[in-house]
Amino acid sequence: MIRSTLGCSQRQLLLTPQAKCFQEVLRCIGAESCPNIYNFHMHTTHSDGKLKPAEVMQQAMDIGLKGMAITDHHSLEGYWAADSWVQGLRWRMGNRVNPPRLWTGVEINAELCRAEVHILGYGFDPDAASLRPYLQSRVSKGSFHAAQTVVSAIQTAGGIAILAHPARYRRPLPELIQAAVDCGIDGVESYYAYNNPSPWQPSPNQTAEVAALAEQHQLLSSCGTDTHGKSLLQRL
């Protein structure tokens, strides 16, 4: 069940069809889902990544990903380029190819619990007015920087808000996730590799703690490599 500052039925009505599908996928994933089946956290040259959107999509095809999201910082340019790549592939190849499902995604800086955190948005309407302040390729300031405002902007756009890599911040996890819940967060990135292991795999101790807190607060759990380098199978 999604937690929100809105009632559950109101929250469901706001979700885009894309977000509803994303929600159902998150309810079924586990530690084994990333990076070869789903990957919901990656960056392109349109923020601080080293892969062009076309390279991201080609790697996703080669890996055989079922679903993915590009989550550039404060930008949708990578998503638009990747979506155009997919449309071009379908125009050329028709039913002979089956590219991954590509959800809208973005990573937004915010202040939460006296810490600078990152909030991931998924499945939102990319043209929604509420997200415009966060899609200027820079960190927003003032009231726009508050986590509750960021979460509200994502949800108003019909999307799902996820707290990225919760164990990376210098705040106790129970305190941080409770603060995120109080802001109406929908979920947390439970499956994340904190020490860049090779091969990539979720960090066992952090995953166990974050996943337990997600279950306690009835939050969705997401996964992703947070790729900034040249391979979707690694972070760096």
Is the CB of residue 155 less than 8 Å from the CB of residue 148? Answer: no
Cα 66-60-51 angle, rounded to 5 deg: 145
DSSP state of 73: B
User: Order of strands across the sheet with 101-103?
Assistant: 38-39, 67-69, 101-103
Distance between CA atoms of residues 149 and 140, nearest Å: 11
Say if 233 falls within a structural domain.
no
Each of the 236 residues of the chain gets a pLDDT tens digit; together they read: 334 445 666 778 889 999 999 999 999 999 999 999 999 999 999 999 999 999 999 999 999 999 999 999 999 999 999 999 999 999 998 888 899 999 999 999 999 999 999 999 999 999 999 999 999 999 999 999 999 999 999 999 999 999 999 999 989 999 999 999 999 999 999 999 999 999 999 999 999 999 999 999 999 999 999 999 999 999 99
Distance between CA atoms of residues 8 and 15, nearest Å: 11
Domain count, the chain: 1
Say if 13 falls within a structural domain.
yes
Say if 159 falls within a structural domain.
yes
If phi over 0 gives left and psi between -120 and 50 gives alpha, with beta otherwise, what is residue 123?
A: left
Is the CB of residue 117 less than 8 Å from the CB of residue 107? Answer: no
Neighbours of 28 (CB within 10 A): 8
| Domain coverage including residue 193 | 8-223
Say if 152 falls within a structural domain.
yes
Say if 229 falls within a structural domain.
no
Say if 99 falls within a structural domain.
yes
Say if 231 falls within a structural domain.
no
CATH number of the domain within which 183 lies: 3.20.20.140
What is the model's pTM? Answer: 0.95
